[in-house]
Structure 1
C-alpha cells in the first residue's frame, strides 16, 4: 500500500495492536467461535495422547488428519459471521455481506488501480495517523481488551496500558518461517493410512467432534508405527 500510495496516509499500521482493535475484535470472535476447541484438542493430545510438538512427523500427521476439518470450520464460521446482523446507529441494520453489496451499489467498486490515483493532498494529518484504527468504544469492552492483552504482551510492558507508544516503524518486520512438515512415510503410505481410518468401525473419519478426533489420533499413531516399520525396514 505504501508503494502505491506513499507514506503518511495510514495505509499500513505500525506500532501497538491497540491501533487495530477492530481486527482484534474479529480475532476474538474467531477464537471463541472455533479456534479454542482445536487449541484445547492439541493440548490434550500433547498431555495425554502422545503428541510431541517437536517431532516433525507428528506435525505432519496433525496436518493430514485435521487440517481439512479445521478449514471447514473456518469456512462455516465465515459464512455465519458474514450473515449475522450488525446493529448500525445511522442506518438499517445489515449483515457484513449486505454492507459489502450495498456499498458496491452505492459507491461503485474501488480497486488498487483506483486508489493509486490518490492525490498528495489526501495525506492524513499526523494526529489522525496516530489515532488511526482505534475504536474508542471497543476500548471499554473488558473481554475484548483482556483478549488483546493476553495475545499481544509485547505491546504492554508489565501489563501497563500507559506504556509509551512504540516507534512509528519497527527496525525490522516479524518473520515466521513456516517449513512444511516432513515425514519418512511415502505418499502411498499416507493414502493407505487414510483408507484404514475411513474403514474403521470405531469412528467416522474425518470428524469435527473433539472426542472422536482423540480416537482418530490414537488410531492413526498406531497405524503410522506399523507403516513406518513396513516401508523403512520391510517388517
Structure 2
C-alpha cells in the first residue's frame, strides 16, 4: 500500500553522526521490522487455527506465509550488511512482546481488528521514515510494508462481520481506538529506546525533530481514521 497521507518526506535532512552510527540506525530499523514481521507470522498462524470457516483459515494462513517471506527478506538484507538477524532483533523483543501482551485480543474478530489497525500503522510509520533514506533501503521497506492485499482482505472480512451486528461494531470501534493509541505509543517508545528516530529522519536539531515527529504522528492518526471510516466505524 502506498503512503496515504502527505507527510513531508522531501524536507531537507542534515548529517547526523558518523557513517558507522548511521549504519547502526539502519540495522536497528531492520531489526525492529524483522521482529515485527516474525511476530505477525506467529499471530496469523495462531489466528488461522481458530477461524470460523475454512476459507478464513486459508486466508489467514496465506497472510502468515507472506509475513514470513517478509521476515526472510529483512534477514537477507541484514546478512548482506554482516549482521545476524537474531542479534538485530534482540533489543526489540521485550518491548514488542510487551505490546502484544497489552493488546491481547479477546476473540477472533478482535484479532482481525488488531491486524487491521496495528499492521497498517506500523507500515505507515516505517514507510514514512524510509522515504528519507537511501533508495535501496526505501525500496526494501516499501516492498516489505506494501500491504494492499492484506488490507483489502481484512477490510472485506471485517465489513461482512460488522454489517448486521451493531454490538460487534460498537465493541470493535472501541477496541480500534485502544489499539491505535497503543500502536502510536509503541512507535514512539521504540524510537526513543534506540534513539534512532531522529537520526533516521536526518535531523540533529531537537526542535526540527520534534516538529517533524509531530507531523508524522498526526499523519498516522489521519490514516487510521480513514481506515476506520472504510469499515463504517468511528476512529
TM-score under structure 1 length normalisation: 0.24
The structure with higher relative contact order (CA 8 Å, sep 6+) is 1
Higher helix share: 2
Q: Which has the larger radius of gyration?
A: 1
